[in-house]
Amino acid sequence: MSESSPPRTQNANGCPCGNEKSYEECCGLLHKGEPAGSAEALMRSRYTAFCMNLPDYIESTWHPSTRPKDLAAEAAASPKPRWVGLRIRRTDVIDEDHAVVEFTARYQLRGRMFTLHEISRFLREEGKWFYLDGKFPRR
């Protein structure tokens, strides 16, 4: 288990995922097809894909066994929040092909601020990480 740095908001200099590297040097590489080196890297790239409205990437990194059938339609019909910050609370590497990432993501919707808190499971198949599913801890 590892703890990550405090939350960072999106800024003009760093990647939306909170990394100090630029988007092009960070999540942009994954969005262009480079495989994620870890479940946490995939989680960060998925957050950035939500920020940038990249539904194809979100769909392609969601494991087919748990991916909603009408993901594109659901995304098109949903209001688009403005994502404003990501905090990785912990990453647990279960084994080389299974990991858990707990995170909080702040977003604004219709003028109000909200926080999404999720404990996500990830699976690696044939060297590629996928998001499996997540649970929302009780407050």
pLDDT in tens, 13-50: 699 999 999 999 999 999 999 999 999 999 999 999 99
Q: What is the CATH number of the domain that holds 110?
A: 3.10.450.50
Return the residue matching tokens 């998001």: 131
* CA separation for the pair 119, 47 (Å, rounded): 14
Q: Is 2 contained in some domain?
A: no
* CA separation for the pair 82, 84 (Å, rounded): 6
In 3D space, the residue among 114, 115, 133 whose CA is nearest the CA of residue 123 turns out to be 133
Q: Tokens representing 134? A: 């997540």
**Structural domain count of the chain:** 1
| Alpha carbon distances (Å) from 47 to 54, 78, 85, 95 | 10, 16, 9, 23
Rounded mean pLDDT of the chain? 89
Task: Evaluate whether 6 touches 87 at the Cβ level (below 8 Å).
Answer: yes
Q: Is 1 contained in some domain?
A: no
Q: Is 3 contained in some domain?
A: no
Q: Is 104 contained in some domain?
A: yes
136 pLDDT higher than 80: yes
- pTM to 2 decimal places: 0.87
Which of 91-118 are b and which e, b meaning 16 or more Cβ less than 10 Å from the residue's Cβ? bebeeeeebbbbbebbbeeeeeeeebbb
Q: Is 102 contained in some domain?
A: yes
Confidence of residue 12 (pLDDT cuts 50, 70, 90): low
Q: Which domain holds residue 19?
A: 8-135
3-state class (DSSP) for residue 95: strand
| Alpha carbon distances (Å) from 109 to 27, 47, 82 | 24, 16, 7
